Amino acid sequence: MHLMLLGCPGAGKGTQSKFIQEKFHLSQVSTGDMLRAAIRANTPLGQKVKVIMDEGRLVSDDIMIQLVKTRIKEPDCAKGFLLDGFPRTIPQAEALREQDIHLDYIIEINVPDEELIRRLSGRRIHPGSGRVYHLLYHPPKAEGLDDITGEPLVQRPDDSEETIRQRITIYHQQTEPLINYYKQQQELNGTKYRRVSGLGTEEEVRDRIFSILAATAREKESGRSFNR
């Protein structure tokens, strides 16, 4: 299965990716995590993208397309993958299509802008593992510390209110056109586009997504027994 999560910054793509990855045994391809790892390792790519990311702008399509093309050729992606944060522009989506990568599902997680700001300004992360917390919605057991390692949690540099607003604006301008793009792909090649509400608890959103994916698994299974 090839799946993509679409949604504004803070909609819960990373949070839901973890649930989906565990249940459906897909490899998560998170472009944001890949870029942050490059910044931590101070690679030439990391040096190139740091300022762009800190300012909440998008990294160039050329860089992102090359990064993802290489990543999805790795052996763990052969069993299926979950794209989180890619594609984010029409040229990125076209690049996937040119590679003959068929996406089975686009799931858009929809959350109103004011709630996104609350979520992102309260987000804290554990840099070593990428574990995500929220000061109110998902607090760590001990204030400011990771539940597993006890190491300090940090705020992402792009989670200041001004940068969050800039990221949300860019999403509406450059990424939202993908909704119509994939609705058209649904007509042309069977890619399924579904929108779920991202409001409610993490588990409520998870169950909405799981019920969509389970319905397809059942359809595939009944198609198989019918053809036997």
Q: Provide the annotated active-site residues.
A: 13, 88, 123, 156, 167
Question: To 5 degrees, how large is the angle CA 53–CA 199–CA 23?
Answer: 80
CA distance 123 to 113: 15
**Interface residue with ligand AP5, options 86, 181, 182, 193 (CB under 6 A):** 86
Cβ 120 to ligand AP5 shortest distance, Å: 6
* Cβ 114 vs Cβ 64: under 8 Å: no
* Cβ 28 vs Cβ 68: under 8 Å: no
What secondary structure does DSSP assign to 83-133, as a single string?
EES---SHHHHHHHHHTT---SEEEEEE--HHHHHHHHHTEEE-TTT--EE
Asked if 29 is part of the footprint of ligand AP5 (rule: CB under 6 A), the reply reads no
**Interface residue with ligand AP5, options 26, 35, 38, 72 (CB under 6 A):** 35
Which amino acid is it at 129? S
Cβ 187 to ligand AP5 shortest distance, Å: 25
Which tokens sit at 223?
């198609």
CA distance 125 to 138: 11
**Interface residue with ligand AP5, options 2, 4, 6, 7 (CB under 6 A):** 7
Cβ 225 to ligand AP5 shortest distance, Å: 36
Return the range that interacts with ligand AP5 (CB under 6 A); candidates 94-102, 116-124, 146-154, 177-185: 116-124
Interface with ligand AP5 in residues 63-82 (CB under 6 A): 64
Asked if 140 is part of the footprint of ligand AP5 (rule: CB under 6 A), the reply reads no
* Cβ 57 vs Cβ 163: under 8 Å: no
**Interface residue with ligand AP5, options 56, 105, 107, 181 (CB under 6 A):** 56
- Could you tell me where the beta strands, DSSP code E, fall in the chain? 2-6, 27-30, 81-84, 105-110, 123-125, 132-134, 192-197
**Interface residue with ligand AP5, options 28, 72, 85, 209 (CB under 6 A):** 85
Cβ 112 to ligand AP5 shortest distance, Å: 12
Return the range that interacts with ligand AP5 (CB under 6 A); candidates 7-15, 39-47, 98-106, 220-228: 7-15
CA distance 111 to 12: 9
Return the range that interacts with ligand AP5 (CB under 6 A); candidates 57-65, 97-105, 147-155, 183-191: 57-65
Asked if 59 is part of the footprint of ligand AP5 (rule: CB under 6 A), the reply reads yes
Residues that bind ligand AP5 (CB under 6 A): 7, 9-15, 31-32, 35, 52-53, 56-59, 64, 85-86, 88, 92, 119-120, 123, 132-134, 137-138, 158, 167, 200-202, 205
